[in-house]
């Protein structure tokens, strides 16, 4: 994989055309700065050296920063001081055993019963979480799978990885028997697939190491919309139920809000200091949570255009690999590289519980649509069901 976008290139590091390079690089860094609330560093050269276009970018950036600071008049934790602590009782109900090597991705079916999992053993498995049994196995051509998705109808699944394509499979044949036949291979990305999510049985959204997100027509295999604004690999997606708006997280340390109807990025939210590896909407449609290699879970609000809370435990911090929330949004579930799943109280910022039964990195997790069960997947080859 390529290295992520570097925000730390210093002006003048190129010996040729030093002043021009320095000014351009400084403005480029402004566009992707790590935290809007921090004071901008001295660029190290006279701002008069900026071109009119670069000066305009700089001034717009300063205006955005001022507006964000003006609406940041309090903090979530201060406003929620009177909230009562939440009591959570969660137990492991089942271990799903069947993969031969690391589990990389999982997704719940909309029936809140079946789970799809992807592993580097070259298989997609469909599980019945009530019984713990495997009910379907699909052999993949590429073992380096990184993402998988269940269609809303439960009739189709998809996966992608280092083969740069998204493969869509029909779980049943025309007579209703188990099939697992590949019905379409979507080609067009020039990098690995970081994430794929069905919008319907007819459309699927993908993100890639080529810095792009693409909306596909599954029947024709053609691209409907290609979206590019990130400066790094795009590793995660989260789509609102209206199927018009989605989030994307990237190695450029930003999260972007997109409108599929216009095919445009509407907002860019910053704060993380390393790759953004997972993001999930809260049910209210105004807030979302993110996971990052910087070891911090962050809560954002699109109305204020900024981060409103952070959740982290003591140093040294392990990277956060995956994140989701309870149906109400009161509990955040975060999977870590140190084998733990941490439950955070969204309002109070307090650690509620630690699930420490995995034996390796927790690579994926998700809450079913009814908000009753949590599934976690790990590099210990196992998936676990909790409720």
Taking only the tens place, the pLDDT of each residue in 368-383 is 999 999 999 999 999 9
Residue 11 lies in a domain: no
233, 194 contact by CB (below 8 A): yes
| pLDDT tens-digit map of 203-238 | 999 999 999 999 999 999 999 999 999 999 999 999
- pLDDT for position 59: 81
- Among the listed residues 190, 155, 6, 114, the one whose alpha carbon sits nearest the alpha carbon of residue 369: 114
In this structure, the answer to whether residues 26 and 168 fall within a common structural domain is no
pLDDT at 13 over 70: no
pLDDT at 190 over 50: yes
The sign of the dihedral angle between the CA atoms of 33, 35, 36, 37 is: negative
In this structure, the answer to whether residues 110 and 41 fall within a common structural domain is no
More confident residue, 277 or 24: 277
In this structure, the answer to whether residues 103 and 35 fall within a common structural domain is no
Q: How far from 339 is each of 82, 131, 289, 311, 357, CA to CA, in Å? A: 33, 25, 20, 17, 8
| pLDDT tens-digit map of 307-330 | 999 999 876 679 999 999 999 999
Residue 262 lies in a domain: yes
Q: How many CB atoms lie within 10 A of CB 71?
A: 12
| Choice among 4-8, 50-54, 114-118, 170-174 with the minimum mean pLDDT | 4-8
Ramachandran bin of 131, using left for φ above 0, alpha for ψ from -120 to 50, beta for the remaining angles: alpha
Residue 160 lies in a domain: yes
In this structure, the answer to whether residues 195 and 297 fall within a common structural domain is yes
Whether cis (ω within 30° of 0) applies to the bond prior to 316 is yes
- pLDDT for position 233: 98
| Averaged pLDDT of the chain | 88
- Among the listed residues 205, 194, 134, the one whose alpha carbon sits nearest the alpha carbon of residue 168: 205
Residues 6+ apart with CB under 8 A from 277: 235, 236, 249, 291, 292, 293, 319, 320, 321, 322
The pairing of strands 374-378 and 222-228 is unpaired
* Separation of alpha carbons 50 and 158, rounded Å: 48
Residue 246 lies in a domain: yes
In this structure, the answer to whether residues 114 and 236 fall within a common structural domain is yes
Residue 153 lies in a domain: yes
Ramachandran angles phi, psi of 321, nearest 5°: -100, -20
pLDDT at 4 over 80: no
Q: Which whole number is the average pLDDT over 81-89?
A: 91
* Separation of alpha carbons 201 and 185, rounded Å: 15
| pLDDT tens-digit map of 97-140 | 999 999 999 999 999 999 999 999 999 999 999 999 999 999 99
In this structure, the answer to whether residues 273 and 382 fall within a common structural domain is yes
In this structure, the answer to whether residues 105 and 66 fall within a common structural domain is no
Residue 6 lies in a domain: no
If 0-12 CB within 10 Å is exposed, 13-18 middle and 19+ buried, where does residue 96 land?
A: buried
pLDDT at 242 over 60: yes
Instruction: Give the residue ranges of DSSP H helices in the chain.
Output: 18-31, 52-71, 76-79
* pTM of the shown model: 0.84
Q: Which whole number is the average pLDDT over 242-261?
A: 97
pLDDT at 12 over 60: no
Domain span holding position 40? 18-71
In this structure, the answer to whether residues 63 and 131 fall within a common structural domain is no
In this structure, the answer to whether residues 116 and 62 fall within a common structural domain is no
- pLDDT for position 19: 37
Residue 171 lies in a domain: yes
52, 22 contact by CB (below 8 A): no
* Separation of alpha carbons 354 and 371, rounded Å: 19
Ramachandran angles phi, psi of 63, nearest 5°: -65, -40
- pLDDT for position 14: 34
Count of domains for the chain: 2
Question: Could you tell me the two tokens for 230?
Answer: 């990130």
More confident residue, 41 or 59: 59
Show which of 71, 102, 132 is a domain's final residue.
71
């Amino acid at each position: 994989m390529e290295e992520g976008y570097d925000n730390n290139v210093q002006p003048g590091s190129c010996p040729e055309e030093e002043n021009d390079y320095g000014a351009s690089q400084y403005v480029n860094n402004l566009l992707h700065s790590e935290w809007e609330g921090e004071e901008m560093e001295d660029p190290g050269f006279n701002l008069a050296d900026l071109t009119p276009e670069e000066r305009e970018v700089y001034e717009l950036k300063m205006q955005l920063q001022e507006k964000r600071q003006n609406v940041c008049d309090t903090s979530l934790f201060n406003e929620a001081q009177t909230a009562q602590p939440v009591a959570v009782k969660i137990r492991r109900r089942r271990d799903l055993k069947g993969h031969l090597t690391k589990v990389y991705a999982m997704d719940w079916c909309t029936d809140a019963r079946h789970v799809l999992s992807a592993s580097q053993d070259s298989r997609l498995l469909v599980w019945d979480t009530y019984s713990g049994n495997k009910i379907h196995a699909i052999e993949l051509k590429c073992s380096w799978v990184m993402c998988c998705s269940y269609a809303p109808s439960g009739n189709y699944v998809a996966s992608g990885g280092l083969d740069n394509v998204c493969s869509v499979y029909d779980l049943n044949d025309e007579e209703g028997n188990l099939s697992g036949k590949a019905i379409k291979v979507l080609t067009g990305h020039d990098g690995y697939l970081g994430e794929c999510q069905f919008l319907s049985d007819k459309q699927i959204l993908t993100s890639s190491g080529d810095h792009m997100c693409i909306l596909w027509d599954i029947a024709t295999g053609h691209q409907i919309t290609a979206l590019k604004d990130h400066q790094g690999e795009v590793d995660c997606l989260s789509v609102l139920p209206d199927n018009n708006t989605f989030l994307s997280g990237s190695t450029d340390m930003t999260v972007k809000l997109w409108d599929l109807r216009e095919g445009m990025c509407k907002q860019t939210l910053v704060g993380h200091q390393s790759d953004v590896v997972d993001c999930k909407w809260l049910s209210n449609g105004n807030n979302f949570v993110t996971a990052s290699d910087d070891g911090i879970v962050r809560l954002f609000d699109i109305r204020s255009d900024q981060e409103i809370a952070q959740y982290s435990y003591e140093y040294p911090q392990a990277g956060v690999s995956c994140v989701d929330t309870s149906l109400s949004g009161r509990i955040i579930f975060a999977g870590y590289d140190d084998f733990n799943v941490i439950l955070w109280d969204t309002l109070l910022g307090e650690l509620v519980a630690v699930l420490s039964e995995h034996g390796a990195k927790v690579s994926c997790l998700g809450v079913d649509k009814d908000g009753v069960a949590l599934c976690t997947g790990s590099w210990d080859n196992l998936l676990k069901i909790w409720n």
